[in-house]
Structure 1
């Protein structure tokens, strides 16, 4: 039977501190209707939920990055990715702040799923971007600079959480 221990301070868990900082920045951006969520969700939101600000930000994003995902009617798979972001990614991001702060034992489980989801959806989008023949190299590189960090963070987070879970599930029982 496991003995309950007090949570280790977030300040001493460096990787968790990085994840906490990511979510602390990410969550307000989502709720302040920044470019990321406004642009991401705009294609699937009903018109009554779209503000003048969201339309302006979306137009700016499209003019700046020439991202076909937002210039054209979204494909079914991309719409599904947007729905995953709104109904899974957003709530989990909010939960992660509390979970990381309190050193919740479920953090590795949830962040493993989050990391894999972020990595796969962003990587798939980048594969599609680089297949576009009607975009310049510079345009593709600019879009990559937006999606790339989600690929990198997702991969790092997924591997980190897998290793943590492996240690808990495989290595620790051998020591008991």
Structure 2
């Protein structure tokens, strides 16, 4: 059972404007997203029961929002889980950019823990929270971000560079 609750230290890569993966897992979606703030890009990561389930802060900045929403518990690898499932959404202002991270519960994962609150100053690679067992983590970034991962790729939270802010 201890394998599910690991939270190893990570070596955070140096560099300006880099966006790190917020989770360990497999990239299941990379694409455009239209939200309340306009056009953006989204990367979705599926965490199997064998992945580390600690989530990491993808960029340094200030937490502008951290909100929890009740929802369903659909299988996290399904795209509809993104909108229908229980989740926590965190907005981080990094310079002129707004980055959103969503912790999404799955069919097995029914417990989301977020350590952050509005006003917190965070550093890239900090621990963000935890999702127990299989789940999904998504990141929404500005539309001019250069994405460096593709569907099917395995990523490591706090280590894998998934994008670069260009604006």
Which TM-score band applies after superposition, normalised by the shorter structure?
A: under 0.3
Structure with larger Rg: 1
Structure-1-length-normalised TM-score: 0.25
Instruction: Give me the TM-score of the superposition, normalised by structure 2.
Output: 0.26
